[in-house]
Structure 1
Amino acid sequence: MDAQPVLFRNGLVLTMDDAHTVLPGADVLVVDGRIAEVGVGLTAPPGTDEIDASGGIVMPGMIDTHRHLWQTAMRGYGADWTLTQYFVWYYLESGRHFRPEDIHAGNVLGAWEALDAGVTTTVDWSHGLQTPQHADAAADALESVPGRFVLAYGNIQQGPWEWATSPGFRDFVERRARGALGFQMAFDVTGDPAFPERAAFEVARELGVPVTTHAGVWGATNDDGIRLMHEHGFMTPSTIYVHAATLSGDSYHRIAATGGSVSVSTESEQSAGQGYPPTWQLRDHGIPVSLSMDTSVWWSGDLFSAMRATLGADRSREHLQAHDRAETVTHVHLRAEQVVDWATRGGSRALGLDGVVGSLQPGRAADVVLLKNDHSPVMFPILNPYGHVAFQAQRGDVHTVLVNGRVVKRDGRLVGADLAKARLDVERTVEHLITTMGPAAWQQGMNPDIPATKVLDNPYMYTEWRNEA
């Protein structure tokens, strides 16, 4: 049965169309799950659910292109981690303890968390899929939540040349990868001259599946990986390079020339140590940008924080570089309007969904967010709408969220979310981890020691290769 028509009435509408049209006092009409009209004084069909958007901002649903949903059950656990400690905990020591039900619990909680913050499309960079049963649990969880999700299949406990060519992976693809969920393959390229990752790329090419990869991550992936991908013809317009923070100009040229995009996780890059958020480099090379929040093990699970952090990081660097030259920046290059675009259209372009979501235009799927909070003194006046979204708004201001025309949040509350069950399932995961690791190891894990024999150059347990450094 088609969803009830919805009309957002008298809001400040950020269409995020090609012209970035802004319409004050405008309406957005949703019929049969799609944007039917955008304009002033629209006529509502009989039976329409009218939502008063006055004093609020109506915008497209935000799109996160890189989020490890399975780790949400450990929210805040690694607040003081470095990237090396993250690798030790998840890649080398304790990540293997996650059962299929733990993947399911984290995915459900993280998926609802995304919708609560107005993120209507999320790439689940799911590199905890140790078995096909883990993958089924991840997919089941995403399908149980009424958002738009892309399952990026990965397994940090095994080389991509192994899991991608396994019968279990093939069976999963045949059973699940052509359904309602989008699908990607998620793996990293270490730079090993033997290029063992080639086998996984060949599978992706055969299946017609995009690849998403952590690139330019200090101490893990580097220019050699980009070069190998390029020399073997595996860099494509659908490839998403996550972080891309410590690459040379040569690598950025290769990404630009092959039409790929970069998912910037500024909070992560600033705090964990992948490298400085590369937005100024990406602009210089004309590389498309999307935003992501990475993992709730450390950071906030919303793109308001991502936009804010990205503006701060880019502008800080611009000012400091000018100061080194004894100059003063009088006009910043990165503007709030651009990061709002990255949080919406940037994600839709990266995922090949630009004609589907990312903007409020007739015919597009109705993924719509209303920012409105009559109980907050921060929601008025709205003078610069892009600045308001990027610097003033937060998840508590997300009044209403639609996905495919279906209301999934209304009046500041999620619709249909069984948070009591989600809480119970996550508590079971935490109890399982504490029992398996032991209370002392669990507590120590918030600031784990670094086993020098295992990490510093190569955190991947599935290969012994080290670079010349």
Structure 2
Amino acid sequence: MSYLLKGGSIATFVDGSSQPKCYTADVLVEDTKITQIAPDIVAGPNVEVIDCQGKWITPGMVDTHRHLFMTVLRGEQGDWLLSEYIVKMTWTIQHALTVDEVRIGQLAGCLDALQCGVTTVLDHFHSATTAEHAEASLAATIQSGARVVWCPARQSGATQLFPTLEYGDEEETFKWQMAKLKEWGTKDNGNLTPDGRVTLGLSYDLMGIGPMSVHQEVINYAREVGCKIITAHAVKQPKIIPFRDGGLLGPDVIFSHCNTLFDHTDPDDEHWAALKDNDVAIASTPVDELGMAHGNPIAFEAVRRGVRCGLGADCTSVNGGDIFTQMRCVLQFVRARRHEHVERNKHTLPQYNNETCADAFRLATLGGAEALNMSNIIGSIEVGKKADIVIFDTDSPNLAGIDDPILGVTFHATNADVELVMVNGEIVKRNGRLTKVLWGPVARELKQRANEVRERFPRDFLEARWNKYYQANGAPMF
């Protein structure tokens, strides 16, 4: 299908510009791409005209760090600390999830993202405990219609927590994961769908465990077989310098969180220098970082230092899957810290806020695309780019009366205002409802599977395990 988006207000950053552009024009979408942006475009044959008068047209938002399958655990973990999460989730629930629980969580997670206007997700998939789990996750991802960098994790699940933590399936898991990585990657140089909408990456959180030679072997192998992205968590434990010393940093690496760098204020700090010198990116997920004791979010500090950075929702079991909340949270956090510094040091009050809505909007769109090395195809409304587009209903109770789309999207919009979503030129949400995959059957199965998980892992059981572990070992670091 071809589409003509008629008369909308376009709000976007564009490559090479530090300021957003807001203007009224028509947008012509042919096949998967934006082919024309101009006033008064005349629709040709076989072009569907979509009336966008008075509506906002923006790029699809880009999520640089999310665990999609964890939507099956939605609403269970909002009060957890990160250490609590590691014991209750990573070392208890994760290895015991069934293939169907992972599949429906993955599909629901993708649809949740699309419902919220998030068209691209880097999926840190850390529940690849068997080949069947991994294939189910991938199939659900492809089915959803979302643009996803699918990054299965090179790790096995914990098979025992007491009396000591054990990974009894590690040897077998290592073999099949490396074989599948080669199978997935070499079919089409890392493209997991013919159109390149879903691509392959690698999640790697084992740095610091075992010899460096093993880490080098795995990561270099992943690059050889076509993995587009190498991603790793970096919260409290040092990960950046070991990656650097192993010669493994590069523009295809994106570290999630990096909260420990918030206190690295030295302009010549070696951690920041390693990121900048090797063109490494950061994924910042401020909502759960602040609530789970990761530390303070560093998105704006990364931008200030010239390090590529985007936003992410992280665990949809902890918080919602929209990026609107992440934008507001990180923007107001950095403003509050700056205001606090001014008052504490009795400096003259500034005339304006240093960080703006436009800065947050950029993190959510073009900044995220840059972090994923995809700004040549997504992240902005420009001719030649893929048609990953969101249309907002400005007659909604949230948006009516607002004339600045950048401010409106950043501070007022919700998923209820997302009227239409397009990915790769295909409409996946129209008139406020998902269209490629109908939500009703997914919701019914999601409820069923979520209840099954809760029945196997009731809250008092998880709490007892956490108490037992904490009394014996204290809080684990990550």
Compute the TM-score of the two structures, normalised by the length of structure 1: 0.89
2:34 pairs with 1:16: no
Residue 349 of structure 2 is aligned to residue 350 of structure 1? no
Give the residue type in structure 2 aligned to 1:425. E
Task: Give the distance between the partners of 1:104 and 1:173, measured in 2 at CA.
Answer: 22
Shift of 1:424: 3.0
The answer to whether residue 175 in structure 2 is matched with residue 166 in structure 1 is yes
Aligned to 1:84: 83
Deviation at 1:130, TM superposition (A): 0.7
- What's the counterpart of residue 244 of structure 2? 230
Name 1:395's counterpart in structure 2.
415
- Residue pairs, 1:336-415, within 5 angstroms: 336-374=357-395, 376-415=396-435
Q: Which secondary structure does the structure 2 equivalent of 1:420 belong to? A: helix
Cα distance in 2 for partners of 1:131, 1:11 equals 47
Query: Which has the higher mean CA deviation after the structures are superposed, 149-158 or 337-346?
Result: 149-158
d(CA) in 1 for partners of 2:447, 2:221: 37
- The Cα of 1:413 is off from its aligned counterpart by 1.1
Per the alignment, residue 98 of structure 2 pairs with 99
CA shift for structure 1 position 432? 2.8
Note if 1:240 corresponds to 2:254.
Answer: yes
The reply to whether residue 308 of structure 1 matches residue 328 of structure 2 is yes
Shift, 1:437, TM fit: 3.0
Q: Equivalent residues in 2 for 1:174-189 (5 A)?
A: 174-175=183-184, 177-180=190-193, 181-189=198-206
Aligned length: 448
Q: Which amino acid aligns with 1:71?
A: M
Q: Deviations over 1:227-265 (max 9, x none)?
A: 111111101011001001103432111101100111110
Q: Residue 202 of structure 2 aligns to a residue in which SS?
A: strand
> Any conservation in 2 of the 1:9–1:52 contact (CA below 8 Å)?
yes
Structure 1 pair 156–250 and aligned structure 2 pair: CA distance change class (3 A): farther
Alignment check: 8 A CA contact 1:261 1:288 kept: yes
**1:417 and 2:437 are equivalent in the alignment:** yes
The amino acid across from 2:102 in the alignment is: I
- The residue aligned with 1:200 is 218
Q: Cα offset for 1:148? A: 0.9
Q: CA deviation at 1:390?
A: 0.5
- Kindly indicate whether the alpha-carbon contact (under 8 Å) linking 2:14 and 2:21 is maintained by their aligned counterparts in 1: no
Give the 3 Å change call, closer, same or farther, for CA 132–193 of structure 1 in structure 2: closer
RMSD: 2.4
Q: Distance in 1 between matches of 2:11 and 2:156?
A: 39
Task: Give the counterpart letter for 1:135 in structure 2.
Answer: A
SS of 2:69's partner is helix
> Deviating runs (4+, > 4 A) in structure 1?
158-165
Report the identity percentage.
26
Three-state SS of the structure 2 residue aligned to 1:449 is helix
For residues 351 and 329 of structure 1, the distance between their equivalents in structure 2, rounded to whole angstroms, comes to 34
> Which residue in 1 is equivalent to 2:139?
140
Asked if the contact 1:290–1:343 (Cα under 8 Å) also holds between the matched residues in 2, the reply is yes
**1:108 and 1:141 in contact (8 A); partners too:** yes
Distance change (3 Å), C-alpha of 1:280 and 1:370 = closer
Deviation at 1:421, TM superposition (A): 2.2
| Helix, strand or coil at the partner of 1:315 | helix
CA–CA distance in structure 2, aligned partners of residues 359 and 340 of structure 1: 11
**Other structure's SS at 2:114 match:** helix
Supply the AA of the counterpart residue of 2:157: Q
Distance 1:175 1:199, change over 3 A: closer
User: How many Å separate the matches in 2 of 1:450 and 1:50?
Assistant: 62
Q: Once the 2 structures are TM-superposed, how far is the Cα of residue 118 of structure 1 from its aligned partner? A: 0.7
Q: CA deviation at 1:50?
A: 1.6
Q: CA deviation at 1:168?
A: 4.1
- Measured after TM superposition, the shift of residue 455 of structure 1 is 5.2
* Unaligned segments of structure 1, at least 5 residues: 460-469
Q: d(CA) in 1 for partners of 2:322 and 2:172?
A: 31
Given that 2:231 and 2:255 are in contact with CA atoms closer than 8 Å, whether structure 1 keeps it comes out as yes
Shift of the alpha carbon at 1:400? 0.7
Map 1:269-284 onto structure 2 (within 5 A). Answer: 269-284=289-304
TM-score by length of 2: 0.88
Matches within 5 A, 1:41-56: 41-56=40-55
Per the alignment, residue 462 of structure 1 pairs with none
Distance verdict in 2 for CA 1:378–1:434, change over 3 Å: closer
